[in-house]
Chain A
Amino acid sequence: MVAIAQIEQLQFQYALANQPSLAGINLTVNAGDWVVVAGPSGSGKTTLLRQFKRELWPVGQRLGQVSFNGRLLADLDPAVSAQKIGFVFQNPENQLVMDTVIQELAFSLENSGEASANIQKRIAELVSFLGIQDILYASVHELSGGQKQLVNLAAILILQPSLLVLDEPTAQLDPIATKEFMSLLQRVHDELGITIIMSEHQLDDVLPLANQLWLMTNGCISYQGPVDQGLQAIWQQPTLRDFMPEIPRLFWQQQLTTETESVPLTVVAGQRQLPVGSIHDQLRPVVVGMQETLLTADHLDFQYTKNEPYVLNQLKLTVHTGDWLAIVGKNGIGKSTLLKVLIGLLEPRRGTVRLLERPLQKWPTEQLFKVIGYLSQQPADQFSAESVRVEFERRAVQLGREHPEEAATAMLAKLGLTALADSDPQDTSGGEQQLIALGIILLANPKLLILDEPTKGLDPLRKQALGHLLQQLQVEGLTIIMASHDMVFSARFANQCALLFDGAIVAQEAPHQFFQSNFFYTTPINRLLRPQDSAALTWEEVGR
């Protein structure tokens, strides 16, 4: 086996930081490996990945060596480094430089001074490999998130790299786009022999494809080796257990594997290994909302411009006080639009939305948004202050609280953000921004909370914490409407699930009924246990 990249005794400390972000790192990547890096947010995954690409080295003090193909990265020719090591970032939008796909592809090659005819040829072969001819001349604004990430990958592949580093490339994508991206990566890995190092929160889709797993905790590598033993290593650290994908988690939890077998990662492998009749359901009690109606939508029609197809078409929806409604559906099907229409940020073409029996138009804006809290997909849009505490205090003052400082402190404690009180909200991680934005909203004590993809980009630990927090608020009487493509999260926490398709709500039921009748659109555990007539949706709902 040939080592393609190596890290020896690496320690890294950010400028202005008072402790190292990475310490004692020794790693070897063999040519043809597919490495998955897992670990909680803030454990240094991104910092580590950036060490493999000299152009992206963070500013700070670096001790130890990083080498690529037997040569020190610091001595590598800049042109070689740019072409042979590719880096794909998390956010699909921000990586794009040009405004059409073909220009974006050409941009990479123009940088390395390729002749025009050569660029033409390289684009031609890449387009044939990826099958993106249909979007080649499209403007990047017209692409979906999945397509954008595909273009980002294409713009790297066109440089013919031998090492591909990806930093949570699917965190912003919906599950279908994630699967498509992964199967494309698999082709890139298998057919082109490109070595892959990627960090990921959601291990369900990627672990069956990878052969190496690295676990990171607090800036150190706590495990490196084959995936199988890696899962065992995760299991042995109780704080990391939430990282375990659903199916292996079930097998570990219930001790369903024998000594000789390895833990299954996929539905089909799981079904083969699961002894018939070995398990029974322990379904979670689903909270039933009160009978009092909070919000109704009646025959809603919505379109963005004249003569365009309707995004919402004759949509009907009823939400009761104390419900937690999860609206699932593919990206771009109109979930965000529906949420905005429900709270009056967009005006429906026809139909009415009633909140507490009163049509939305009759609510004064100020009063309306004290009853409704809205968390958009970009939490940073909420921010306006230079520190989290000031942010909360300002909101408390705006709401006319008598003791804004106390209200802010209480909210910081409630969300577990006390440690971040004095940092700039813009500098915090995606998951933390989500919580800060939630705090701003919760200060108003809203009756109805509207969440647009609240789990996007969260690591499993934070996701779990967010779920429990919202569940607590729900018990206290808060009603939640959430658009999500995270099926497991919806199955675990919501008490109502609805599927949005073709502009209308096609089904609205309690989670067990809802997912039980779905075949494709359901959780991995449900798929696994379907032959055994089980209604369980998550590993917690299975007992022996």
Chain B
Amino acid sequence: MAIYGRSRTRSPRASGLKLQLIIDQLHPLVLLVYFILMISFSMCFNHPYFLCGQLIVIIAVNWVAKNQQKTVSTLQGALLMMVLIVIMNPIINNHGTHVMMTVGGTLITAEAVVYGFLMATALAVLLLIFVTYNQHMTNHKFLALFGGIAPQLTLLTMMTMRFFPLFIRRLRDITAVQRTRGIQMVTGRLKNRAQAGMHLLAILLTNTLTEALQTADSMTARGFGVQKRSTYRRYQMTHRDYGLLMALISGGLFAFWCASQGNGQLIVYPTLGTLRLTSRDWVCLSVILLIDGLPLLLEGWEYLWWQLHR
């Protein structure tokens, strides 16, 4: 029957059953910890090897999530800012001991140039982390995290999430219809346009309030406010979630301890330090990359499992 079939928007998301990555099956709490760790790593470690390693892994993570388009467009957008940082930092900041040249009386130091590059790379990493974040941490998962702590607020947010797109759609309808009545904001004097805008908003408010009364009726009819509400928890912690959470937390603690010991940091000021890594640096780097590459590991394991079983 068509009623169960495809919805009118023809969107692949409509069924809610789109292809899922392993990372999407994890509990939101694990996801949250994963993202917190990634973000802190990108800020705690400034060694070029660390940053480049993270950059490569995060690009790969986005690649696996079929996020190529967004990755490229984000990198393109970030490029301008990166160039700006790389150019501006040496001009503004002339600390450091290795002077490369002077431009119009400003000292350009090697330290400042390197630091500019590092900051720019860290920025790119951070931006890409947020691309992944947006992909995996849906609003629902985020809200599910707070459902237990602040149920009222969560309910309110959920309802707002429903109403907002509705509002926009209604405004579009009203604008179209009122345009046929000669009330529009496209041409005419500024004052008239502003008046037309107010007019449209007034209609929108009247109409949506009338509709909201019906929603309120529907809520009351289903016993809203009769007794204390419970919260439906859609996501349950599984063994895998607990295991991964433990691994993430212990790996993260180790990495932060390393950071506090000065591992993974390139000394830039006052004098550029060495790029050489100690053995603990190497261990720390692998832990960080393993944590950042969690989705890759999970997908890889999944791939192997299916290959070996066929």
On A, residues with C-beta under 8 Å from B are 53, 55-56, 78-79, 81-83, 86-87, 89, 91, 93-103, 106-116, 119-120, 131-132, 134-144, 146-147, 150, 152, 155-156, 159, 176-177, 180-181, 308-309, 330-332, 340, 343, 345, 365-366, 369, 372-374, 376, 378, 380-384, 395, 398, 426, 440
Contact = CB atoms under 8 A, between A and B. Distances in A.
A369 B180 contact: yes
Contacts of A147: 3-4, 7
Nearest to B176: A345
A155 B222 contact: yes
A239 to B, nearest CB: 30
Contact of B3 (A103, A146, A308, A309): A146
Contacts of A89: 214, 217-218
Interface in B174-194: 174, 176-184, 186-187
B232 A110 contact: yes
Interface string B1-28: 1111101111101111100000000000
Given A102-B234, A112-B226, A113-B229, A343 B13 contact: no
B165 interface: yes
Contacts of B228: 113
A400 B9 CA distance: 42
Contact of A111 (B3, B203, B211, B226): B226
A139 B100 CA distance: 58
Nearest to A138: B16
B162 interface: yes
Contact of B158 (A103, A108, A143): A103
Given A345-B180, A369-B180, A372-B180, A134 B222 contact: no
16 contacts: A81-B223, A98-B162, A99-B161, A110-B229, A112-B223, A116-B233, A119-B232, A137-B15, A138-B7, A138-B13, A142-B9, A156-B222, A180-B2, A309-B10, A345-B176, A381-B203
Contacts of A366: 182
Interface in B133-147: 140
B276 to A, nearest CB: 50
A143 B210 contact: no
Given A111-B226, A372-B180, A398-B182, A135 B218 contact: no
B182 A138 contact: no
B206 interface: yes
Contacts of B215: 94-97
B173 interface: yes
A381 B223 contact: no
Contacts of B165: 141
B278 interface: no
Contact of A56 (B161, B217, B224): B217
Contacts of B7: 135, 138, 142-144, 147
A87 B199 CA distance: 35
B223 A82 contact: yes
Interface in B218-254: 218-234
B271 interface: no
A97 B177 contact: no
B99 to A, nearest CB: 52
Contacts of A55: 220-221, 223
B222 A159 contact: yes
A383 B13 contact: no
Contacts of A119: 230, 232
Nearest to A399: B182
B304 interface: no
Nearest to B208: A94
B149 interface: no
B159 interface: yes
A376 B177 contact: yes
Contacts of A131: 4
B181 A440 contact: yes
Nearest to B212: A94
Contact of A98 (B8, B10, B159, B210): B159
Given A82-B223, A109-B232, A140-B162, 20 more contacts: A79-B227, A94-B218, A95-B215, A115-B230, A134-B5, A135-B15, A137-B15, A141-B165, A141-B169, A142-B9, A147-B4, A159-B223, A330-B2, A345-B180, A369-B181, A376-B177, A380-B206, A380-B207, A381-B178, A384-B203
A194 B220 CA distance: 21
A193 to B, nearest CB: 21
Contacts of A136: 16
B230 A95 contact: no
Contact of B162 (A97, A144, A308): A97
B31 to A, nearest CB: 17
Contacts of A382: 177-178, 181
A103 B176 CA distance: 32
A381 B162 contact: no
A331 B173 CA distance: 18
Nearest to A334: B8
Nearest to A333: B8
A79 B220 contact: no
Contacts of A150: 3
Nearest to A181: B3
Nearest to B187: A365
Contact of B166 (A100, A114, A141, A398): A141
Residue among A332, A372, A384, A398 with max Cβ neighbours from chain B (10 Å): A384
Contact of B180 (A141, A152, A343): A343
Contacts of A115: 230
Contact of B222 (A82, A101, A120, A309): A82
A93 B225 CA distance: 22
